[in-house]
């Protein structure tokens, strides 16, 4: 059996009373683009720094390519790193900035030049070798930072919010480039971000972190479509949050009292009549259309409501509707959108299974 490129075993790190990383175990395979996603303070950077060797774990082991590197210094781990704020030396030219990590390797000058030329080609920065960082654009600085992370041909590349300081257009361009680098190099990229769109765009698998723990790890589509926990369901996709009380259970579909409206939901595990339930419903799951006389929705949730606002977002619009119980929902899929007018009566519909239901925290 081949060893995973990166293996974490029960890694822990505490700062005073804060458990920054709490019993994290993970296998990342060769050639995977893996993202660590989570809100600020969830422990992503601390975990990345432990992998890099910039932080010592209180407990647990870090293995790279089957080798236990837990006690090895950063330069001996075969790991490259790229940071958010580039961290380029202002008084060194691009070539010196990029080849800095090769210093520890004591390579002959010809080999160093070969590595530099290779990586400049990869990040498409040929011809910029003699410039100083202040003579580069933000995107070019980020390419230099990437080149520095890759010049020693690491076994793994760690990236800590590398695109956070770039404007939106450049970020989109660099996302495409990042996927290209990764596909060409076939080494794992471990990518830290709090931007879910970025994590979903870039990665094959990801972990959602919360209070130092992995809430869920898996293929991005699984996390997005089948969140295991309340936290993951609320964090991914910025869904509508519906809070109701369980009225009755009819096999795997339950009826929730949502402020006077009956809502059909998948029955959450361990729930019973009277429990408070959180139901998370992504915008793209709600269908909005002019009100029809007959109920053709067959097993769906279907509610009459008033269209309060339409916000055009380019590729889609957000439709804000107010239901008869006074609650508001946001949907992004409309039948015949041209015909919809603000203040019009419309209907919204979706299947119970389109949302994710969990026992509320304070039952």
Q: Which spans of this chain sit near ligand ATP (rule: CB under 6 A)?
A: 15, 18, 20, 38, 40-46, 194
Residue from 156, 157, 145, 136 nearest 100 by CA: 145
d(C-alpha 274, C-alpha 26), whole Å: 38
Residue from 225, 228, 262, 224 nearest 358 by CA: 228
177-202 as b/e, with b when 16 or more CB fall inside 10 Å? bbeebbeeeebbbbbbbbebebbbbb
In the complex with ligand ATP, which residue's Cβ is closer, 54 or 351?
54
In the complex with ligand ATP, which residue's Cβ is closer, 62 or 116?
62
Q: Kind and range of the H or E element at 221? A: helix 220-225
In the complex with ligand ATP, which residue's Cβ is closer, 140 or 229?
229
Q: In angstroms, what is the minimal distance from the CB of 28 to ligand ATP?
A: 18
Q: In angstroms, what is the minimal distance from the CB of 48 to ligand ATP?
A: 8
List the beta bridge partners of residue 156: 79
d(C-alpha 125, C-alpha 301), whole Å: 54
Q: In angstroms, what is the minimal distance from the CB of 182 to ligand ATP?
A: 21
In the complex with ligand ATP, which residue's Cβ is closer, 142 or 267?
142
Q: In angstroms, what is the minimal distance from the CB of 211 to ligand ATP?
A: 9
In the complex with ligand ATP, which residue's Cβ is closer, 18 or 76?
18
d(C-alpha 319, C-alpha 246), whole Å: 28
d(C-alpha 33, C-alpha 302), whole Å: 40
Q: In angstroms, what is the minimal distance from the CB of 18 to ligand ATP?
A: 5
């Amino acid at each position: 059996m081949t060893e995973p490129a990166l293996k974490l075993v029960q890694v822990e790190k505490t700062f005073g009373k804060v458990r920054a990383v709490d019993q994290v175990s993970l296998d990342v395979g060769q050639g995977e683009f893996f993202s660590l996603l989570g809100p600020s303070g969830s422990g992503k950077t601390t975990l990345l720094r432990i992998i890099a060797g910039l932080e010592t774990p209180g407990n647990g082991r870090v293995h790279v390519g089957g080798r236990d590197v837990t006690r090895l210094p950063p330069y001996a781990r075969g790991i490259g790193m790229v940071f958010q704020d580039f961290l380029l030396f202002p008084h060194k030219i691009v070539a010196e900035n990029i080849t800095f990590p090769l210093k520890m390797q004591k390579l002959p000058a010809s080999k160093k030049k070969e590595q530099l030329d290779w990586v400049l080609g990869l990040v498409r920065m040929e011809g910029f070798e003699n410039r100083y960082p202040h003579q580069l654009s933000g995107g070019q600085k980020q390419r230099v930072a990437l080149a520095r992370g890759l010049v020693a041909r690491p076994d793994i590349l760690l990236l800590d919010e590398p695109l956070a300081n770039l404007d939106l257009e450049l970020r989109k361009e660099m996302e495409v480039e990042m996927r290209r680098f990764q596909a060409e190099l076939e080494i794992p990229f471990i990518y830290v971000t709090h931007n879910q769109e970025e994590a979903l765009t870039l990665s094959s698998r990801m972990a959602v972190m919360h209070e130092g723990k992995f809430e869920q790890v898996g293929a991005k589509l699984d996390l997005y479509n089948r969140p295991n926990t309340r936290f993951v369901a609320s964090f991914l996709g910025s869904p509508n949050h519906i809070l109701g009380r369980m009225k009755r259970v009819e096999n795997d579909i339950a009826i929730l009292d949502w402020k006077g409206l009956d809502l059909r939901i998948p029955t959450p595990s361990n729930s019973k009549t009277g429990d408070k339930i959180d139901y998370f419903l992504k915008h793209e799951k709600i269908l909005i259309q002019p009100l029809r006389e007959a109920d053709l929705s067959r097993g769906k949730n279907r509610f009459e409501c008033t269209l309060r606002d339409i916000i055009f977002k380019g590729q889609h619009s957000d439709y804000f509707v107010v239901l008869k119980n006074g609650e508001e929902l946001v949907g992004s899929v409309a039948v015949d959108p041209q015909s919809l007018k603000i203040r019009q009566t419309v209907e919204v519909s979706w299947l119970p299974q389109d949302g994710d239901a969990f026992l509320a925290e304070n039952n």
